[in-house]
Amino acid sequence: MSMRAALGLYLYLDHRERQDRHEEWRDRTLSNISRWEDSTDNIEEMIEKSKGNIARNTEKLNKAQDFLNRMSSGKTSSWYDKTTEFISVCKNPDKVSDAQSKINEHDEKVSNCEESIARLEEWIRNDNRKIYDLESKLRSLYQKISDCRNKL
């Protein structure tokens, strides 16, 4: 084989090897893009789920705050004041016990409601933070996909 023929064969094989490597890289890149697109779908579903959680928890929060407002309204506040005054002046232990149990029941409802409100507010904050993080991850993936498509 002549030197010229050997050089031609070498260049052809080198070119063919580079083409094969490029095709392998292209296939891997397309596979990555497909996987990333699946990930974006999953992230979008997670964002929608968190938005639904926020809507439900906000509705519950509003109801709990309404309940708490009713428990501290003028009428209830007046009842509470009269009942505590009654307890302090009443001589009948049975009536005092009944009145005190109603006061305790009221206080427990208020306390439980305040705890629920705090818990719901925390859940809403956590879901908002989660949405922010997921949207950031989503933008990053979309940029990565765009960059890879541009390289193809």
> Residue 146's CB: how many other CB atoms inside 10 A?
11
Torsion sign (Cα): 90, 92, 97, 99: negative
**Does residue 73 surpass a pLDDT of 90?**
no
The C-alpha atoms of residue 66 and residue 107 are separated, in whole angstroms, by 16
**Does residue 7 surpass a pLDDT of 70?**
no
> Residue 144's CB: how many other CB atoms inside 10 A?
15
Q: Say what the pLDDT of residue 52 is.
A: 98
Cβ contacts of 72 within 8 Å, gap of 6 or more:
110
Q: Quickly state the pLDDT bin for 59 (edges 50, 70, 90).
A: very high
